[in-house]
Amino acid sequence: MASSADQLATSINLSKFGKATELKKRLWFTLGALIIFRMLSYVPLPGIDPTQLDLLAQQTQGGVMDFFNTFSGGALERMSIIALGVMPYITASIVVQLATSLSPTLAAIKKEGESGRKKLNQYTRYGTVGLTAVQGWFIAVGLEAFGASAGAQAVVEPGMLFRIGCVISLIGGTMFLMWLGEQITSRGIGNGISLIIMAGIVAHLPTTLVQLFEGGRTGTLDPVRLIGIIAAVVGLILLICFMERAQRRILIQYPKRQTQRGMQAERSHLPLKINTAGVIPPIFASSLLLMPLTVSQFAGQGAAAGGGDGFWNEFVIGLNQYLTHGSPVYMLLYGLGIVFFSFFYTAVVFNPEETADNLKRYGGFVPGIRPGKNTEAYFDYVLTRITVIGAAYLTFICLVPEYLVSALSIPFYLGGTSLLIVVNVTMDTVTQIQSHLLAHQYGDLIKKAKLKGGRLR
């Protein structure tokens, strides 16, 4: 019955889609913003030799930079002005949120409401500029050093002028993407930053699928393995959809009230998602890893060229080898990051103390649990248990497919992290579209009721 009701509601929503003018404007704005993002990924940094860039892409192929390149929609491979994507902004957001939970001053600012949120956003923007400048500088130095040992140069005219121009261009590109994401969130549909990341991943999907099926056609990929890959992707999508909808519903009871049927107690449920943190932990963990890895990867170009101190060269080259995509050290750090941010972001999203106080204020209680501190402890206990399941699910989705792709040398890159982001963001965007359609239908009903009321008078 529930599924048929949902199908009926969806069909009604879709039938009203043509009349939802505001929703159509938001969708067109979102689509236009994502098109601008894709166009910017083809605007190159000034002073770059495209031929040498192809060699750079081949040299770093299969490494962690492929992972970063996927998130940026190929912008890093082409060294466009948005090569760093929104990763510096996400890293700065992590730092500010961690600082807010540790610093009483920032915690007090957060409690100021809208004005406090604006101050923290401003700190995040400053942090984004700083991180982008650091990463941009190492990218510029790495590009200058690339190919020097072979007598070639990826940069047409190396020097301080190129480095400054590269840093300024990358800062401008990242800040524009950050602004574009905020505009999508406020004037479009869905979360702007998540949609930009998803658009970068989806942009690689056609090329990836062509390579996969071409391997099956030419015989370089075993047909059984090809079918197994497709079945595994479908299975992962179904698992993600199931887990993202899974909830732990806590029964909430309110005092008895007088109704037409006599004294009755009101009951409701407090839904707690198994994966309360959503897609944030993998994004945060990958962003935190990719920031230093970007620096070390491009610093390694200089080390490979033989410049700088010998100990520094050995350290950077060794770091790049240990942290290659799919290596045990990388997988361990990535998994620990996912688990940490699952618990951290869940604590940010859901506050057991505040929820227990609100229930007590309105007379609600959990049957068998005393209101106040006991209810808070019960919420914390339940939330910790389900977060363990959610963190294990995220770790499995993000690490196991990556390991299999790396271990089996499968020429197909749509890892668990990318798949999780695409499915999760798509589900969230569709939910918001349905909410807008539902609000539009209720608005029409209210208008019709007012018209009928006016006629009766």
Residue 305 CB neighbours (<10 A): 17
Question: Which candidate, 200, 197, 190, places its Cα nearest to that of 429?
Answer: 190
Q: Is residue 297 part of a domain?
A: yes
| pLDDT given at position 322 | 67
- Is a pLDDT exceeding 60 seen at residue 9? no
Q: Is residue 426 part of a domain?
A: yes
Q: Is residue 16 part of a domain?
A: no
Give the pLDDT confidence of 302-315 residue by residue, as tens digits. 545 445 555 555 66
- Is a pLDDT exceeding 50 seen at residue 175? yes
Lowest model confidence (mean pLDDT) among 88-102, 163-177, 315-329? 315-329
Q: In the predicted model, what is the mean pLDDT of residues 185-192? A: 88
| pLDDT given at position 141 | 81
| pLDDT given at position 128 | 92
- Output 445 or 86, whichever has higher pLDDT: 86
- Output 296 or 227, whichever has higher pLDDT: 227
| pLDDT given at position 10 | 46
The Cα 431–Cα 206 span in angstroms is 26
Q: Is residue 4 part of a domain?
A: no
- pLDDT band, very low/low/confident/very high, at 408 (cuts 50, 70, 90): low
Q: Is residue 15 part of a domain?
A: no
Q: In the predicted model, what is the mean pLDDT of residues 434-450? A: 69
The type of residue at 37 is F
- Output 56 or 228, whichever has higher pLDDT: 228
- Output 267 or 395, whichever has higher pLDDT: 395
Distance, first Cα to last Cα, the chain? 40
Q: Is residue 403 part of a domain?
A: yes
| pLDDT given at position 321 | 67
- Is a pLDDT exceeding 80 seen at residue 130? yes
| CATH at 420 | 1.10.3370.10
Q: Is residue 10 part of a domain?
A: no
Give the pLDDT confidence of 238-292 residue by residue, as tens digits. 998 899 888 888 888 877 665 555 555 577 888 889 988 888 888 888 877 776 6
The Cα 75–Cα 202 span in angstroms is 13
Q: In the predicted model, what is the mean pLDDT of residues 309-335? A: 70
| pLDDT given at position 68 | 61
DSSP per residue, 153-167: -SBSS-SHHHHHHHH
- Is a pLDDT exceeding 90 seen at residue 387? yes
Q: In the predicted model, what is the mean pLDDT of residues 335-357? A: 88
- Is a pLDDT exceeding 80 seen at residue 132? yes
Decide if 115 contacts 108 (C-beta within 8 A): no
Question: Which candidate, 381, 434, 324, 436, places its Cα nearest to that of 60?
Answer: 324
| pLDDT given at position 394 | 92
- Is a pLDDT exceeding 80 seen at residue 106? yes
| pLDDT given at position 11 | 46
The Cα 322–Cα 54 span in angstroms is 24
- pLDDT band, very low/low/confident/very high, at 140 (cuts 50, 70, 90): confident
Domain count, the chain: 1
| pLDDT given at position 3 | 43
Indicate if the alpha-carbon torsion angle 119, 125, 129, 132 is positive or negative. positive
Domain extent for 85: 21-451
| pLDDT given at position 326 | 66
Q: In the predicted model, what is the mean pLDDT of residues 331-359? A: 87
Highest mean pLDDT among 8-17, 89-98, 137-146: 89-98
Q: How high is the mean pLDDT of the chain?
A: 78
| pLDDT given at position 4 | 42
Give the pLDDT confidence of 207-251 residue by residue, as tens digits. 777 877 777 777 777 778 778 878 888 888 899 889 988 888 888
Q: In the predicted model, what is the mean pLDDT of residues 177-200? A: 89
Numbers of helices and strands, H then E, in the chain: 17, 2
Decide if 348 contacts 278 (C-beta within 8 A): no
- Output 294 or 124, whichever has higher pLDDT: 124
Lowest model confidence (mean pLDDT) among 131-135, 157-161, 311-315, 439-443? 311-315
Distance of CA 341 to the CA centre of its chain: 12
